Every structure is written in C-alpha cells, then in structure tokens.
C-alpha cells in the first residue's frame, strides 16, 4: 500500500568522501542518464576507487531524508593542475540546487587551497549548468578516442581572493524549477 505522504527532505550536508563511498560514487557515475546513448562508453568502465578518493579532494552531498540520509552528489577537486575533475548529481536529486551547492563548496575549497582559478572540461550537455554557476567558456578540448569521441567544452571558474561568507557544514538546498543540474566530467 502506498502512502500519500511525501517524504520530508531535510538539509544537504557536504562532507569529505571516505574510502567506503567509492562503490556508491562509481554507481552514481555509471548510472547517470546524461551518459546514455552516444556517451555511454565514457563511463561504462569508470571507477571511483578508494585510491582516487585518497589522492584528491572528493566531497559528497548527503541529503537528510525522513528515515535515512543518502549521497545525492559529489565532486572532485584536483589541485595540480587545478581542475574540477568530476561533478555528478544523482538523477533523482537534480533540480534541487545540489549542483550549485557543490560548486559553491568547491569554490570555497579552491580558495582555501590558494587557487585563483579552476579548469573544467565539461560533458557537453553540462556546459549550460557550468555557465549558469559562473564558469566562463575558454575553449574546446579535442576528442580523445577511443574513450572520448566528441569534443568537449573547456571552461574556467575564477576564484576571487576574498569571501563575503563561508559555506557552513550544513547547506540548505531549495528547489529551483529552472535549475539544469547536469553531471559533468573532465578528462
């Protein structure tokens, strides 16, 4: 029997990823609808392993729901050279501002690491999202067959030196009908 009650959605917390998150993050990448069809080969064998999580600044968005919490997105910031290597939001969690929260958190982390810019080589359908959160188009990354057979937009986030505010431990996401939070990736 189905309940007519909609589950309560609480705050979204951003936390550092740990090794036990690896399988969950791999499933999130491989299960993304943005990588169906012509893009499927890019993520078919992709793996976010514990070693990757250990080597980079990987952060997960965890949504507090009525009876549990679950990972609804993540990003990876590589420091040298500065690059947003991965950013994914679970298909069912898109449109709730989680991608924007992850980008805001990434900006804070980049600033704390002393970076003044962060490069993104985007999955083509995610370019609009990155532009909507402040990334500037800087060029095109050429295809790299056999894994990536299409050109990809190259963008850059400029990281201003001063912060008016610091993201807190708990970030409240608000539904936004116009948000097009698509998963992104870089080479």
Report the distance separating Cα 15 and Cα 24, nearest Å.
15
Q: Could you tell me how far CA 14 lies from the centroid of its own chain? A: 11
- How would you classify the pairing of strands 117-121 and 136-141? unpaired
pLDDT in tens, 7-62: 446 789 999 999 999 999 999 999 888 887 777 777 788 899 999 999 999 999 99
Classify the phi-psi angles of 139: left when phi > 0, otherwise alpha if psi is within -120 to 50, otherwise beta. Answer: left
Using 50, 70 and 90 to split pLDDT, how confident is the model at 170?
Answer: very low
Report the distance separating Cα 157 and Cα 111, nearest Å.
11
Using 50, 70 and 90 to split pLDDT, how confident is the model at 129?
Answer: very high
The overall average pLDDT reported for the chain is 82
């Amino acid at each position: 029997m189905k309940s007519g009650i909609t589950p309560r959605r609480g705050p979204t917390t951003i936390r550092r990823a740990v090794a036990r998150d690896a399988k969950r993050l791999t499933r999130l990448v491989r299960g993304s609808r943005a990588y169906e069809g012509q893009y499927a080969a890019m993520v078919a064998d992709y793996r976010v392993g514990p070693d990757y999580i250990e080597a980079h600044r990987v952060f997960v968005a965890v949504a507090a729901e009525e009876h549990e919490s679950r990972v609804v997105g993540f990003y990876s910031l590589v420091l040298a050279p500065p690059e947003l290597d991965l950013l994914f939001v679970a298909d069912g969690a898109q449109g709730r501002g989680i991608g924007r929260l992850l980008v805001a958190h990434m900006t804070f982390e980049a600033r704390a690491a002393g970076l003044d810019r962060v490069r993104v080589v985007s999955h083509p359908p995610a370019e609009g999202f990155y532009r909507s959160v402040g990334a500037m188009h800087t060029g095109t990354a050429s295809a790299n067959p056999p894994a990536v057979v299409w050109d990809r937009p190259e963008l850059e986030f400029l990281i201003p030196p001063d912060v008016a505010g610091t993201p807190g431990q708990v970030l409240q996401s608000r539904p936004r009908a116009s948000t097009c939070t698509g998963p992104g990736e870089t080479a």
